[in-house]
């Protein structure tokens, strides 16, 4: 795989909206049949960009998951850190692609599919035992908020600090033993994300939301333990990050003012910092300005580090958004030069006799997933 030592980059072009059609907008971007290539007009000249994958407007949510989410999940199950970042202007389809939850199974976004597929794999793996934990945060106005803190509405768990490799001390982590538990957790987190209506989007995210899953895997014991004390066992530990980055926007176009203007300014500043980090990594510069933004500090280790990273760039096809779409494609193309050094995170975990005894029992809720499949 030519992309194994670098960031994978895929681009999804959403369909024209009904309003865009009514306003007479034509598609400014076109995909090349049977090639991961896009063409876009720039000052009267047609430019061509090739990526690891391109999803045209007909692509399904399942198509996006299979090409984007599944390879990252497989790495995480093998003990390698993984990250999926959704990037694009306001209203380009990032949140739908990533987070959408629906009674219609085919409409489900990448994160719900990841969660279900993770637990199907766990249910079907007789040889290993897994511990799975979830956390969620947002970067809002350059402050880090814990979206799962029970006191979130009272202002508790906000303005957290971030340390090396994106570690956030004090962040709420919750153990999950079933997909519904994790889906409920992330639904609760999403309810705490700051949204607002702008001219460009009925429900525009005003923050970067980052969902995290920690996976610890060790070998399952097949005989009852004989002692009472703790036992050290070899394990792998991986972290999966799914980041829905707030969309860049031109203030005049989105019609924001007051507090929304301040939010938009902070969003654009953090996205500029991310662009600068990507450029420095792509050019292999000795200094990478990772500390210029809370967003880049959170993503430290997920971009250009010990992590299998996939960038999903979502873009609008409308002529009125052609300049923003071109900017997104240029960002995406640079990101393809960002090297990654992903490796298995091996360690040991202390396990007591009760936990070892539970290896011999099956969680009845997971049994139903064993034959249910996933994807």
**What pLDDT score was predicted for residue 194?**
67
Q: Which of 169, 109, 175, 189 is closest to 298 using CA atoms?
A: 169
**What pLDDT score was predicted for residue 304?**
87
**What pLDDT score was predicted for residue 375?**
46
Residues 75-85 have a mean pLDDT of 97
**What pLDDT score was predicted for residue 310?**
97
Phi, psi angle pair for 53, to nearest 5°: -170, 150
pLDDT digits (tens, 9 = 90+) for 349-370: 999 888 888 888 877 778 778 7
Phi, psi angle pair for 269, to nearest 5°: -65, -40
Record the tokens describing residue 54, joined without a space: 């391109």
Beta-bridge mates of residue 87: 313
Which is more confident, 198 or 236? 236
**What pLDDT score was predicted for residue 251?**
46
Flag whether the pTM goes above 0.85: yes
| Whole-number average pLDDT of the chain | 88
CA angle 360, 361, 365 (to 5 degrees): 150
**What pLDDT score was predicted for residue 2?**
56
**Does residue 130 contact residue 121 with C-beta atoms inside 8 Å?**
no
Q: Which of 128, 131, 132 is closest to 220 using CA atoms?
A: 128
Residues 336-360 have a mean pLDDT of 91
At 250, is the pLDDT very low, low, confident or very high (cuts 50, 70, 90)? low
Residue with tokens 């600068």: 276
pLDDT digits (tens, 9 = 90+) for 25-36: 888 898 888 899
**What pLDDT score was predicted for residue 258?**
65
**Does residue 142 contact residue 270 with C-beta atoms inside 8 Å?**
yes
**What pLDDT score was predicted for residue 84?**
98
Cβ neighbours around 336 below 10 Å, total: 17
Q: How many CA atoms lie within 13 A of 187 on its CB side?
A: 9
């Amino acid at each position: 795989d030519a992309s194994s030592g670098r960031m994978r980059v895929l681009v999804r072009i959403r369909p024209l909206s009904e309003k865009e059609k009514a306003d007479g907008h034509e598609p400014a971007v076109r995909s090349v049949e049977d090639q991961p290539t896009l063409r876009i007009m720039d000052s009267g000249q047609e430019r061509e960009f090739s990526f690891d994958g391109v999803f045209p407007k007909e692509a399904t949510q399942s198509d996006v998951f299979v090409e984007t989410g599944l390879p990252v999940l497989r790495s995480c199950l093998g003990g390698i850190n993984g990250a999926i970042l959704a990037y694009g202007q306001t209203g380009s389809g990032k949140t739908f692609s990533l987070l959408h939850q629906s009674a219609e199974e085919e409409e489900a976004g990448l994160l719900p599919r990841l969660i279900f597929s993770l637990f199907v794999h766990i249910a079907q793996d007789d040889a290993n035992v897994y511990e799975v934990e979830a956390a969620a945060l947002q970067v809002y106005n350059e402050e880090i908020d814990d979206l799962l803190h029970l006191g979130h509405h009272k202002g508790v768990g906000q303005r957290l600090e971030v340390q090396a490799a994106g570690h956030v001390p004090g962040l709420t982590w919750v153990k999950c033993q079933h997909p519904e538990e994790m889906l409920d957790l992330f639904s609760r987190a999403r309810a705490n994300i700051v949204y607002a209506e702008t001219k460009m989007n009925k429900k525009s995210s005003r923050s970067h939301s980052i969902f995290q899953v920690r996976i610890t895997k060790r070998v399952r014991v097949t005989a009852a333990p004989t002692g009472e004390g703790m036992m050290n066992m070899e394990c792998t530990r991986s972290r999966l990050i799914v980041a829905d980055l707030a969309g860049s926007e031109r203030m005049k176009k989105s019609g924001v003012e007051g507090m929304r203007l301040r939010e938009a300014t902070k969003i654009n500043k953090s996205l500029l910092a991310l662009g600068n980090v990507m450029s420095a990594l792509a050019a292999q510069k000795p200094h990478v300005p990772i500390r210029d933004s809370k967003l880049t500090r959170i993503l430290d280790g997920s971009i250009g580090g010990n992590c299998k990273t996939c960038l999903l760039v979502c873009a609008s096809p409308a002529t009125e958004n052609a300049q923003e779409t071109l900017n997104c494609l240029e960002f995406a193309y640079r990101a393809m030069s960002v090297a990654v050094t992903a490796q298995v995170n091996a360690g040991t975990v202390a396990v007591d006799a009760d936990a070892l005894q539970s290896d011999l029992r099956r969680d009845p809720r997971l049994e139903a997933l064993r034959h249910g499949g996933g994807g």
